[in-house]
Chain A
């Protein structure tokens, strides 16, 4: 059957003298043959867009964070904290179409250096960050990845998925050479999200992570000198802060 541009029909059945869509009739009596059609309604065009980014604990977008190493002794450093000290991986899903989109499934993968933290770490809200109404979603996750199932995203609606995470090396100790290598070569961190259903969409966010070394060792002058010499040899910058701490940093920004 020819398809009309404005409206389409699909054959459903044939009744009367035949039940097939097409064939031959051998005439053995009077009767009727009726083709039964229904209006064909094409499925609504589904379109979702996704964006993702990393934020601090107050949902301010960040493009980098600082790992702060504190000197424990001559040969050992502890990654004492990060700046900022709290992180969220945020995924923003928008339904720009005129109809609701149901059965939305997405998966996310944090950078291997980050872990999901908190008792209720993956949440969905109608507002940026964790504002507006909380949206019920089926969430599953492990150390640093997971999936989120959302029953429906309304027409024109944007939902905000927030994943509470932290830098997994916090509190760990490192040798001096490890720290120097870290300062010089540590790669950026990348976070990924894939919308699996009903349409595919992918987004990722990358943050750089410059290091900062704080020396609180009693012999800081000597240590700072030693570190300074080494870091200077590596082409790194050093500066002396007014609080009496020796800080040597390299920012890859």
Chain B
């Protein structure tokens, strides 16, 4: 606002995803249009005895089929989340014809991810060589094959970003973002700023998450964040519904190729969407409770609108964070009403998490892409499982069925557990 130098315009020239609902963007979007749920009983680890036994898993076969872009060597260092990211990025890179760009120094990577949790098997293995009093049997450990350093890399979120840039030959800025549910959107937002200010011309930006194992899951169980009451797995994620009782954890990855407008034009690559603005903020309130009046969320949404030089009435659709927790859905509704005032009731608001579950660090990226695809097809994806309206959540949540509707400008919200908030403002590309 204060500077007179016009900011460079940033457009989307490619996207890719792998989710519980599909092996790519087209399949995920199609299934979401039909209001399908990607949630089922978990098979990735033994959930017996846990109050929540469901989640959104990505079909292993889809992952196997998509890994041809990774060398066997790099694959060993890759967390499951990174493997999902590789699958998505390969789709996006193909669509944006990234291989044809010669100057690789101007292509960067911005990734929101959290790395693998140590498996229970890993912990049990290490336990064999430790007496609990500070004494390690290093000789025994080494004789047993040692603790693989590969695990070390799989746990580090920075390793994922590094391997991604190595695989796709991007020598520009390299950014690892760790901000829970806001990570995917923040990764895209920060990448957008790097292109805006000229640090980079092209960015691979998105997020990935694969923590459906005991160590990753049980923390959320302990803090009672997950849905533990459901008639069927498919009915558990019910954002804005009175009977919602927690979120459903999922895995997945989503990635966009962001590119400076003139750079994209000079290559003649199809432009899929316009990134208009980005805002982020922190609640600075409590560890897991969201601010009751949604102050942090309001700050982020307003910042994104300001950044895009748009007024609240310019927005035609809100892709909600909509986690299906009592706290988020109420706070998000309040925040939307505060920012959009009398216009709030007229804006369709929907939650992709009703179908996909919560893919944590991937959510912001996947939801950004689904918003873009929806805009390009004039379709608003539904909030499924909205059967019992909550009087406190009284906006138009596009219940249960997709809607044919022209959308020119939308926002996508991502609000993290620790009060980290991000909002992306996206537009249909217009010359």
Please determine whether chains A and B interact with each other in the same assembly: no
Which A residues fall within an 8 A CB radius of B?
A: none
Which B residues fall within an 8 A CB radius of A?
A: none
